[in-house]
Amino acid sequence: MLAISIFVSGSTVTDEVLAKPSVFQSGYNHGSSDAHKDPSHWYILQPGKGFAFHTKSFNDGYVAGYCANSPPGSGSDADEATFSCP
Is residue 76 classed as helix, strand or coil in its secondary structure?
A: strand
Across all residues in the chain, what is the average pLDDT? 84
pLDDT at 25 over 90: yes
Is residue 78 classed as helix, strand or coil in its secondary structure?
A: strand
Q: Confidence class of residue 19 from pLDDT cuts 50, 70 and 90? A: low
Candidates 43, 81, 35; CA nearest to 59 is: 81
Give the number of domains in the chain. 1
Which residue would you say has higher pLDDT here, 21 or 57? 57
In a domain, 4, yes or no: no
pTM here is 0.76
Which domain, by its residues, includes 31? 21-84
In a domain, 40, yes or no: yes
Instruction: Count CA atoms within 13 Å of residue 5 on its CB side.
Output: 5
Which residue would you say has higher pLDDT here, 18 or 66? 66
